[in-house]
């Protein structure tokens, strides 16, 4: 009923292997992109950009990054906050040292620097697995936060240890700093999010993604069929950290504008992003977006309903919000342990058959 697949024939392997094999899905995807690029920039205001869409897109990038490592390659990491901090401090140092170079190049360079740091901390993954690896990455988290707090060079010797993003522009449009228009901010993050999602999708369905998944499913078997674990694990750490670094750079440069490492990139951030991919769905690009939306948008929505709509006291609303979000996390995981992505997959299966399920 909803999906009309009659007449939707595939005549080539290429067609058969595309990301959205059902025509209706493909149209939906194009429509979504068109709305995101052509409609939202014209109607977005400061609140929607700064409080909702920009954080959602940035967290989605970070979630995709972590999903590659945890969901596709099966290497549990608790160092996401620390790696985001590397991205943030890298873009800060680069843009204050070389102010004339385009900020987009700096963001990408920050991603590369984070990738190198990530690979360095990924080295232990060759010897240790599972929870032990989680502890090793936890060490990375604490070490990186300590480093950025301790060494004044990273924050240009400012009195308070805060880093502040100066104003930078791209194609004549200011894209960082307080003078940025909401549309510019949003579009920059959207371009990065779409690009990251596209790259991640194509990496994960190619050779390299299959190697990651082979390692995840059973590393000894993968080694026997010829997957080099050093190669696979380190590329997973590298690619994952590259995306997480971009997310950290945007988080600082575009979203917050000023940051303090312990507060903005603490252990809480690592857990938040880990929860996003667990709730969204491990090993799914859509799940990364869904998880980010769940963890970023739901609290804001609840706050606006409870305080703005129903006039509750702010503290009561804040506690109730925590309880509702916590309860929903548990409910979602009980109903569907594989996350929102699986829920969506099942819904789609049902919709394809509806109203004749047999």
Partner 1 sequence: MNFRLTALAAAAMMAAAPALADLVVPNLSYRTGPYAANGTQYADGFNDYFTLLNERDGGIGGERIQVPECETAYNTEKGVECYESTKGSGAIVYNPLSTGITYQLIPKVSADGIVLYTPGYGRTSAKNGKVFEWVFNAPANYWDGASVAIKYLLDQNGGSLEGKKIALLYHNSAYGKEPIRTLQELAEKHGYTLTEIPVDAAAGQEQKSQWLQIRREQPDYVIMWGWGVMNQAAIQEAANVRYPMEQFIGIWWSGSEPDVLPAGAAANGYKALAFHGVGQDYPIYDELQEHVIAPGKASQGGQHVGTVLYSRGMYAALVISEAIRKAQELSGTAAISAAQLRDGFEALDITPERLAELGLPDFGPPITMSCENHGGSGMARVQQWDASAGKWNLITEFTEPDQEVLQPLIEEDSAAYAAEAGVTPRCS
Residue 82 contacts residue 245 (beta carbons within 8 Å): no
Q: Show contacts with partner 1 in window 255-314 (CB under 8 A).
A: 255-260, 262-264, 266-267, 300, 303-304, 307, 313-314
Task: Work out whether 158 is an interface residue with partner 1 (CB under 8 A).
Answer: yes
Q: Identify which of residues 118 and 266 has a Cβ nearer to partner 1 in the complex.
A: 266
Residue 114 contacts residue 251 (beta carbons within 8 Å): no
| CB within 8 Å of 256: residues ≥ 6 apart | 165, 264
Select from 112, 124, 161, 170 the one that contacts partner 1 (CB under 8 A). 161
Task: Work out whether 177 is an interface residue with partner 1 (CB under 8 A).
Answer: yes
Number of residues that bind partner 1 (CB under 8 A): 43
Region from 79-87, 208-216, 275-283, 316-324 binding partner 1, contact rule CB under 8 A: 316-324
Residue 196 contacts residue 108 (beta carbons within 8 Å): no
SS3 82: helix
Distance CA 81, CA 88 (A): 10
String of contacts with partner 1 for each residue 237-266, x by CB under 8 A? ------------------xxxxxx-xxx-x
* 3-state SS, one letter per residue, for 213-272: HHHHHCHHHHHHCCCCHHHHHHHHHHHHHHHHHHHHHHHHHHHHCEECHHHHCCHHHHHH
Residue 245 contacts residue 109 (beta carbons within 8 Å): no
Q: Identify which of residues 19 and 162 has a Cβ nearer to partner 1 in the complex.
A: 162
Q: How far is the CB of 45 from partner 1 (least distance, A)?
A: 6
Q: Show contacts with partner 1 in window 46-75 (CB under 8 A).
A: 46-47, 50-51, 55
Residues lying near partner 1 in the complex (CB under 8 A) = 42-43, 45-47, 50-51, 55, 96, 149, 158-162, 164, 166-167, 177-179, 255-260, 262-264, 266-267, 300, 303-304, 307, 313-315, 317-319, 322
């Amino acid at each position: 009923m909803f999906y009309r697949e009659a007449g939707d024939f595939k005549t080539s392997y290429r067609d058969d292997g595309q990301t959205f094999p059902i025509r209706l899905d493909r149209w939906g995807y194009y429509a979504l992109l068109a709305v995101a690029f052509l409609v939202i920039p014209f109607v977005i205001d400061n609140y929607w950009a700064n409080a909702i869409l920009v954080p959602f897109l940035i967290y989605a990038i970070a979630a995709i990054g972590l999903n590659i490592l945890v969901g596709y390659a099966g290497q549990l990491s608790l160092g996401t906050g620390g790696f985001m901090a590397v991205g943030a401090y890298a873009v800060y140092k680069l843009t204050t040292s070389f102010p004339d170079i385009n900020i987009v190049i700096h963001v990408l360079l920050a991603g590369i620097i984070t990738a190198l740091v990530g690979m360095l901390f990924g080295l232990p993954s060759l010897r240790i697995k599972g929870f032990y690896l989680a502890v090793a990455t936890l060490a990375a988290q604490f070490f990186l936060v300590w480093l950025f707090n301790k060494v004044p060079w990273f924050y240009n010797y400012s009195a308070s240890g805060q880093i502040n993003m100066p104003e930078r522009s791209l194609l004549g449009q200011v894209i960082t700093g307080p003078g940025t228009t909401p549309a510019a901010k949003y579009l920059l993050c959207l371009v990065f999010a779409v690009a990251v999602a596209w790259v991640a999708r194509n990496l994960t369905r190619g050779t390299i993604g299959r190697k990651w998944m082979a390692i995840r499913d059973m590393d000894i078997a993968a080694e026997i069929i010829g997957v080099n674990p050093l190669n696979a694990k380190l590329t997973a750490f590298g690619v994952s950290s590259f995306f997480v670094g971009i997310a950290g750079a945007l988080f600082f440069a575009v979203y917050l504008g000023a940051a303090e490492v312990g507060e903005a990139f603490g252990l809480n951030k690592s857990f938040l992003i880990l929860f996003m991919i667990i709730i969204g769905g491990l090993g799914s690009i859509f799940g990364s977006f869904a998880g980010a939306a769940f963890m970023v948008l739901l609290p804001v929505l609840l706050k606006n309903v409870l305080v703005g709509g129903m006039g509750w006291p702010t503290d009561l609303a804040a506690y109730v919000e925590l309880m509702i979000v916590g309860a929903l996390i548990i409910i979602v995981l009980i109903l569907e342990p594989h996350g929102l992505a699986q829920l969506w997959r099942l819904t789609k299966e049902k919709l394809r058959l509806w109203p004749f399920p047999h």
